Amino acid sequence: MALMTGSQYMDSIKGLKLTAHILGEKADNTANHPLVRPSLRAVAATYDQAHDSNDCGLFTAISPLTGKTVNRFSHLHQSAADLVRKVEMQRRCGNLTGCCFQRCVGMDAANAVFSTSFECDKALGTNFHERFAAYWAKIQENDFTVDGAMTDPKGDRGKRPGQQDDPDVYLRVVDRGPDGIVVRGAKLHQTGLLNSHEVLVMPTMTLRPDEEQFAVCFALPTNTPGLRYIYGRQASDTRKAEQNPADAGNTQFGGQEVMVVFEDVFVPNERIFLDGQTQFSGMLVERFAAYHRQSYGGCKVGVGDVLIGACALIARMNGVDHTWHIRDKLTEMIHLNETLFACGIACSARGHKTPAGNYMVDLLLANVCKLNVTRFPYEIARLATDIAGGLIGTLPSSADFDDPITGPYIKKYLAGAAGVDTLDRIKVLRFIENLVAGAGCVAYLIESMHGAGPPMAQRIMISRQANLEGKIGQVKSILGISGQD
């Protein structure tokens, strides 16, 4: 199949018929569910842009596997310039949707599995890389969306996987036969999983020699029997169903987070890419995390752009856009946002070729990028709350706006600067509310903190990559000091 359009993609998801539970009810047609629909449209945008005459260069690439044009979201990066274009594409998606567009995690997982499986085969004589390359060529040919599933429930964080009271809190192999394995467990916080054709599962952490059952990487179609999906709640999520921007802020687009349970699911051999090789679990986790930490230097920046734009617009609507402190706050927001972008671009530009042939980001700079992402969007959101004013927490509903008794009062007392339509002003305020305190803040703030690992995970990587001894050596060299090793 050639590159899908957004509507072809949405139809293809409709056909999957996933076993999902949303707000306590079994949902047979997730693609049409009012809570899911905005998130589906956000993924569809990644398909439509591949056909857009201005954006197709950014959203497509030539696959080294098939020799054909593929959507960049399924591309194996072939150069540092490819890594840079990935970040630029993610920023563009954030600009178009103002939310998490969900397709990055599979791209990041694929690039990590591609190089790790190659190095595993070389060291241990396994044949995972050939399998994965064949699998991924099919993904590209079908233009599928793939969810990357790393995060296990983890139970007691102070205990190793095998020490847990319930061993299933780390996804594991519970049976095996000549044709494949049977897995049991769950993955939490799965971004866009109900909007995905496939799920690519990876271990959640670096594993030790006696933890082989947890060192498993494989892929399954999302409609495989035994996969059960439980939809994650988000602040104000039911406002999405109301379909009114004067209540929901962003009715067009939104994110999606899902818990998935694996109820003793069979995985055929050709879909297994790691099976007990604990010594390669760390490489896989580290590489996936690094690509995903790079991703945030694009997607969060794109969402930051529209939040900054909304703040500039509301300041204009409020008649304070020329005030020095508002201009200074907007400048600070831009500075923080562009610093994140600079980190995303820097770790990409310093990318290097892996033995498998695809390109890997600079590990130190990707971790610096993500550590900044755990902070700067929070400061941008704080400044946005300042500029927007208290109405983002106190606005009446659209039903009151439309009510013949209350509506005129709302129009009279919520008017802003001369010539500003009150309803437009309300829509902008709701848009800001969505990102700093509503459903949109899951992607803009909570995911910025925890997605691709919490801040401590980046600090550990930064301290490992920083070559502190090298810095000490530089000082000793300048000062002529010997010893002190």
Q: Which residues are catalytic?
A: 100, 104, 191, 257, 292, 296, 299, 447
Residue 441 Cβ, how far from ligand FAD at the closest point, in Å? 10
Between 34 and 454, whose beta carbon lies closer to ligand FAD?
454
Q: Select the residue interacting with ligand FAD from 58, 113, 149, 227 (CB under 6 A).
A: 149
Q: Does 257 bind ligand FAD (CB under 6 A)?
A: yes
Residue 218 Cβ, how far from ligand FAD at the closest point, in Å? 14
Q: Select the residue interacting with ligand FAD from 124, 456, 466, 472 (CB under 6 A).
A: 456
Q: Select the residue interacting with ligand FAD from 19, 39, 117, 191 (CB under 6 A).
A: 191
Residue 363 Cβ, how far from ligand FAD at the closest point, in Å? 17
Are the CB atoms for 195 and 41 separated by under 8 Å?
no
Between 155 and 407, whose beta carbon lies closer to ligand FAD?
155
Q: With CA atoms as reference, report the closest residue to 150 among 94, 215, 194.
A: 215
Are the CB atoms for 448 and 369 separated by under 8 Å?
no
Q: Select the residue interacting with ligand FAD from 150, 227, 330, 373 (CB under 6 A).
A: 150
Q: Does 446 bind ligand FAD (CB under 6 A)?
A: yes
What are residue 275's DSSP bridge partners?
216
Q: With CA atoms as reference, report the closest residue to 150 among 195, 102, 199.
A: 199
Separation between Cα atoms, residue 190 and residue 258, nearest integer Å: 5
Between 189 and 197, whose beta carbon lies closer to ligand FAD?
189
Q: Select the residue interacting with ligand FAD from 21, 154, 316, 327 (CB under 6 A).
A: 154
Residue 204 Cβ, how far from ligand FAD at the closest point, in Å? 7
Residue 25 Cβ, how far from ligand FAD at the closest point, in Å? 23
| DSSP state at residue 233 | P
Residue 121: C-alpha distances to residues 132, 265, 395 (Å): 11, 25, 59
Q: Does 198 bind ligand FAD (CB under 6 A)?
A: no
Q: Does 51 bind ligand FAD (CB under 6 A)?
A: no
Separation between Cα atoms, residue 480 and residue 428, nearest integer Å: 61
- Chain residues 300-359 in contact with ligand FAD, contact rule CB under 6 A: none
Separation between Cα atoms, residue 299 and residue 138, nearest integer Å: 26
Q: Does 148 bind ligand FAD (CB under 6 A)?
A: yes
Q: Which two tokens stand for residue 133?
A: 């390359």
Are the CB atoms for 428 and 245 separated by under 8 Å?
no
Separation between Cα atoms, residue 243 and residue 238, nearest integer Å: 10
Q: Which two tokens stand for residue 184?
A: 């049991």
Residue 194: C-alpha distances to residues 59, 322, 365 (Å): 22, 45, 32
Between 42 and 246, whose beta carbon lies closer to ligand FAD?
42
Q: Which stretch binds ligand FAD (CB under 6 A): 162-170, 310-318, 380-388, 442-450?
A: 442-450
Q: How many amino acids of this chain bind ligand FAD (CB under 6 A)?
A: 20
Separation between Cα atoms, residue 86 and residue 323, nearest integer Å: 37
Q: Does 189 bind ligand FAD (CB under 6 A)?
A: yes
Q: Which two tokens stand for residue 325?
A: 């402190």
First to last CA, the chain: 60
Instruction: Give me the residues that bind ligand FAD (CB under 6 A), please.
Output: 105, 148-151, 154, 157, 189-191, 257, 442, 446-447, 450-454, 456
